[in-house]
């Protein structure tokens, strides 16, 4: 395994008596696509919530690029270069696609708002750079024709693309993707898969939660399996798919 960009060590997250994460530990390789699979309720989304600072950890540590980020705020984690998308795409209802991208580009640095208050030349330069970045990203994700549409008017698949775009605005080094292709029509799934390959080719590391095994096989260099809040095993797709313990973990827990 190449150098890890992220190390998850003994991560625990309890909701009352429920151990959603129960001592999960594994590394995420740099510049690769790592698949994260496991039955419904295995704790995958909870893991993303804990890594990205949205949920308090009961115990354990998260180390990103050699720095312990376990107690960092979500903003600080984002600014360090770690972004995540949500299983259910979010969106500010009254914003257009363009405004949405601009907002997230701005909130990453934290400088845009201060500069805007101070006024002056710096603002216009930053604003122009941000605009260029949002336009280029929209073009890359084929969202340029809906830039002026309200986020709420997008199709499910376009919302998923916008989630990816939002995450990419901050030029992350690691991106956590929570089922970016779930519920999306086949043509758009293909398109999103190509974008993920492109993101990897540009040197960004990806941790990808996905239930569709054909996509995991096609996209991932390495696959981590979780069950009942714990790390179960890891390996190539074929190693993991033929593992009896993995098959047992899925038994009777197939997604409806
Ligand atoms: N905020 C919460 N409060 C209470 N229980 C929660 C909360 N979030 C998650 N859980 C529970 O924690 C467990 C793990 O949930 P999680 O959403 O992380 O699973 P998952 O692996 O992402 O599943 P899926 O594949 O269905 O998305 C489940 O039993 C879930 O009901
Ligand atoms: Mg989930």
**Cα distances (angstroms) measured from residue 244 to each of 34, 42, 223, 226, 238:** 21, 17, 15, 14, 12
C-beta of 230 in contact with ligand 1 (< 6 A): no
Would you say residue 254 has pLDDT above 70? no
C-beta of 70 in contact with ligand 1 (< 6 A): no
**Spatial contact of 105 and 133, defined as CB atoms under 8 Å apart:** yes
Mean pLDDT value across residues 1-24: 93
**Cα distances (angstroms) measured from residue 61 to each of 4, 58, 79, 101, 201:** 14, 10, 19, 31, 29
Mean pLDDT value across residues 190-212: 96
What spacing in Å lies between the alpha carbon of 21 and ligand 2's midpoint?
12
Would you say residue 239 has pLDDT above 80? yes
Would you say residue 21 has pLDDT above 60? yes
pLDDT value of position 122: 61
Residues ≥6 apart with Cβ < 8 Å to 74? 52, 53, 54
Least confident of 22-36, 87-101, 183-197: 87-101
Pocket test for ligand 1, best of 16, 35, 44, 46 (most atoms within 8 A of CB): 46
Would you say residue 14 has pLDDT above 80? yes
pLDDT value of position 114: 54
pLDDT value of position 1: 57
Domain edges within the chain: 1-81+172-256, 91-171
Pocket test for ligand 1, best of 16, 22, 45, 84 (most atoms within 8 A of CB): 45
pLDDT value of position 90: 67
- Phi, psi at residue 207, to the nearest 5°? -115, 115
Maximum mean pLDDT: which of 85-99, 122-136, 180-194: 180-194
pLDDT value of position 116: 57
**Spatial contact of 152 and 93, defined as CB atoms under 8 Å apart:** yes
What spacing in Å lies between the alpha carbon of 22 and ligand 2's midpoint?
16
Using the atom order of ligand 1, give the atom closest to the CA of residue 226. 21
Whose alpha carbon is nearest atom 17 of ligand 1?
Answer: 45
CA distance 36 to 226: 7
Whose alpha carbon is nearest atom 8 of ligand 1?
Answer: 46
Would you say residue 256 has pLDDT above 90? no
C-beta of 40 in contact with ligand 1 (< 6 A): yes
Bigger pLDDT: 104 or 153? 153
Would you say residue 88 has pLDDT above 50? yes
pLDDT value of position 125: 74
C-beta of 41 in contact with ligand 1 (< 6 A): yes
Would you say residue 92 has pLDDT above 90? no
pLDDT value of position 117: 57
pLDDT value of position 35: 98
Class assignment of domain 1-81+172-256? alpha beta
Would you say residue 217 has pLDDT above 80? yes
CA distance 139 to 136: 5
Q: Which residues of 85-99 are buried (b: 16+ CB within 10 A; e: fewer)?
A: bbeebebeeeebbbb
Q: Could you report the per-residue pLDDT of 106-165, keeping only the tens digit for each?
A: 544 445 555 555 555 666 777 888 899 999 999 999 999 999 999 999 988 999 999 999
Mean of all residue pLDDT scores within the chain: 90
pLDDT value of position 89: 65
């Amino acid at each position: 395994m190449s150098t890890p960009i992220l190390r998850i060590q003994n991560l625990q997250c309890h909701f009352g008596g429920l151990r959603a994460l129960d001592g999960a530990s594994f590394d995420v390789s740099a510049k690769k696509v790592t698949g994260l699979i496991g039955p419904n309720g295995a704790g995958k989304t909870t893991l993303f919530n804990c890594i990205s600072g949205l949920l308090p950890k009961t115990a354990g540590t998260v180390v990103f690029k050699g720095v312990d980020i376990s107690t960092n705020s979500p903003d600080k984690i984002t600014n360090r270069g770690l972004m995540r998308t949500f299983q259910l795409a979010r969106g500010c209802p009254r914003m257009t696609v363009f405004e949405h991208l601009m907002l997230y580009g701005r909130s990453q640095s934290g400088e845009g708002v201060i500069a805007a208050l101070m006024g002056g030349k710096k603002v216009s330069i930053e604003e122009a750079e941000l605009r260029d970045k949002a336009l280029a990203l929209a073009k890359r994700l084929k969202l340029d024709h809906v830039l002026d549409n309200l986020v709420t008017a997008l199709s499910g698949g376009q919302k998923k693309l916008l989630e990816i775009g939002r995450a990419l605005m901050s030029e992350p080094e690691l991106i956590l993707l929570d089922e970016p292709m779930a519920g999306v029509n086949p043509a758009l799934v293909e398109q999103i898969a190509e974008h993920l390959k492109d993101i990897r080719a540009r040197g960004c590391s990806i941790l990808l939660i996905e239930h569709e095994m054909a996509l995991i096989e096609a996209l991932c260099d390495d696959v981590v399996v979780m069950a009942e809040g714990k790390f179960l095993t890891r390996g190539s797709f074929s190693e993991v798919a033929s593992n009896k313990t993995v098959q047992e973990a899925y038994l009777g827990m197939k997604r409806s």
